[in-house]
Amino acid sequence: MHPGVRVWAVLGMCLLAGCSAGPPPAAGSGDVAAPSRPPVSAAVITASPKDGTQEVAADAPVKVAVAQGRLVSVRLADDKGAAVAGKISPDGASWAPDGRLQLATPYTLDTVAEDAAGLRAAQHAAFATLTPAHTFAAFFTPEDGSTVGVGMPVSLRFTRPIADRAAVEKGVTVTADPPVPVVGHWFGSQRLDLRPEKYWAAGTKVVLALRLKDVQGAPGDYGTQEKDVHFTVGRSQISTVDLDAHTMAVRQDGRLLRTLRISGGSPEHTTYLGAMVISEKYEVTRMNSQTVGMGDEYDIKDVPHAMRLTSSGTFVHGNYWADRSIFGSANTSHGCVGLADAKGGSPDTPAGWFFDNSIVGDVVDVVGEDGDAVPPDNGLNGWNLGWAQWVKGSALTAH
């Protein structure tokens, strides 16, 4: 046989027999073992809203729960890093925030849980709250920092109709020092007034707290206000207009200051009866009968010392154009309470004196044989409802 043929035959036999260069290496001789998987926590975390959710309602429930373990930490934070307060349940199985979310805000939710073996699981989620299509706000009376009379209610007028009156009323509180219960009453869907059972005590400090931000007043309509309004109740002034005697007795802190002669509404245009609150004061104003549905009966461009009693146009005001003899003897006006005055207004006249001694929130109580009772929503005149009727107008009171 040719020597080369012998060599290839030996090689072929080795290949068929699976020949190797030597025996397999012994264990521990330097080979690398396959990597083992780390232990996995048995704790299973679930959270709501789910990661990536958009347009979450501000009052939607935010919940974190864990099965087969206990929560170690939960952090809900807005896009500025401000954390939302919340509590883990005593058994460690769940977490919930203490309050509502803010609208139009991105949030992150980071949770850590631990199983019985001490192994930890973590979860990160992100979501964003609803950006409302419409918002509402409340215009409030009285003004912040003002001093008012004992009859001044807190009156809120909303920029949009309120459907969920209870939710909005919960966002409005009025507290007083000295303390007194204060209850709200709705006049329609856009006005909420709040007052105590009786007139405020002189010297009372009052705080109106508006917590309406992100409160849903109607489907798609959310509040915007977080504000405190402070005002002080001054001395007590209650003036009694007697239409039959043609007088007004002005009492301050129960003491009679002065009795003024007046001219009230004529038989064709009687003055409203009841307790009315001065809501505005003007040293001079224009009064036009067309604005109150009386045609062209009058248009006086410079009415002095005018103080509004109703939104429909009842005033106590100075009158320089009528003969002085009517004051104290006849009712000749179109429904207002007139006091003698000088053209341009004078502090030395009855009208000027009353103007200078009155503040917004003072009470003018009109009595007489003829006239209609003033509607309680015509001006700031809810005092003409008894307390039981007033309380029935609250969305928070069981009827």
Taking the C-alpha atoms of residue 389 and residue 155, their distance in angstroms, rounded to an integer, is 17
Report the pLDDT averaged over residues 304-324.
Answer: 95
pLDDT at 154 over 90: yes
Judge contact between 381 and 274, C-beta under 8 A. Answer: yes
Please give the torsion angle defined by the CA atoms of residues 387, 392, 396 and 397, in that order, rounded to the nearest 10 degrees: 80
Taking the C-alpha atoms of residue 367 and residue 118, their distance in angstroms, rounded to an integer, is 80
pLDDT at 258 over 90: yes
- Answer yes or no: do 349 and 264 share one domain: yes
| Position 60 in a domain | yes
Residue in 185, 305, 334, 336 annotated catalytic: 336
Residue in 185, 246, 317, 334 annotated catalytic: 317
pLDDT at 8 over 90: no
Taking the C-alpha atoms of residue 212 and residue 197, their distance in angstroms, rounded to an integer, is 25
Q: What is the CATH number of the domain that holds 192?
A: 2.60.40.3710
Residue 185 annotated to the active site: no
| Position 74 in a domain | yes
Q: Where in the sequence is the domain holding 93, given as residue range(s)?
A: 44-128
- Answer yes or no: do 241 and 363 share one domain: yes
pLDDT at 329 over 50: yes
Q: What is the pLDDT of residue 131?
A: 87
- Answer yes or no: do 54 and 90 share one domain: yes
Q: What is the CATH number of the domain that holds 305?
A: 2.40.440.10
- Answer yes or no: do 219 and 316 share one domain: no
Q: What is the pLDDT of residues 29-88, one digit of tens each?
A: 445 555 667 788 999 999 999 999 998 987 788 999 999 999 999 999 998 899 999 999
- Answer yes or no: do 194 and 252 share one domain: no
Report the pLDDT averaged over residues 198-206.
Answer: 98
Sign of the Cα torsion 252, 254, 258, 263 reads: positive
pTM, to two decimals:
0.76
- Answer yes or no: do 260 and 360 share one domain: yes
pLDDT at 15 over 60: no
- Answer yes or no: do 167 and 79 share one domain: no
| Position 28 in a domain | no
Report the pLDDT averaged over residues 177-200.
Answer: 98
Least Cα distance to 149 among 281, 312, 283, 298 occurs for 281
DSSP string across 76-119: EEETT-PEEPEEE-TTSSEEEESSPPPSS-EEEEEEEEE-TTS-
- Answer yes or no: do 99 and 65 share one domain: yes
| Position 87 in a domain | yes
Q: What is the CATH number of the domain that holds 84?
A: 2.60.40.3780
Which of 94, 128, 162 is where one domain is finished? 128
Q: Which of 17-31, 307-321, 336-350 has the lowest mean pLDDT?
A: 17-31
- Answer yes or no: do 293 and 200 share one domain: no
- Answer yes or no: do 148 and 58 share one domain: no
Please give the torsion angle defined by the CA atoms of residues 184, 186, 190 and 191, in that order, rounded to the nearest 10 degrees: -60
Q: What is the pLDDT of residues 160-174, one digit of tens each?
A: 999 999 999 999 999
| Position 37 in a domain | no
| Position 33 in a domain | no
- Answer yes or no: do 153 and 259 share one domain: no
Which of 68, 101, 128 is where one domain is finished? 128
Q: What is the pLDDT of residue 29?
A: 46
* Overall number of domains in the chain: 3
Q: What is the pLDDT of residue 14?
A: 36
Residue 317 annotated to the active site: yes
- Answer yes or no: do 268 and 284 share one domain: yes
pLDDT at 374 over 80: yes
Q: What is the pLDDT of residue 13?
A: 37
Judge contact between 374 and 384, C-beta under 8 A. Answer: yes
Q: What is the pLDDT of residue 19?
A: 35
Taking the C-alpha atoms of residue 158 and residue 130, their distance in angstroms, rounded to an integer, is 22
Average pLDDT, the chain: 89
Cα angle 71-76-79, degrees, rounded to a multiple of 5: 155
Which of 128, 155, 190 is where one domain is finished? 128
Higher-confidence residue of 14 and 99: namely 99
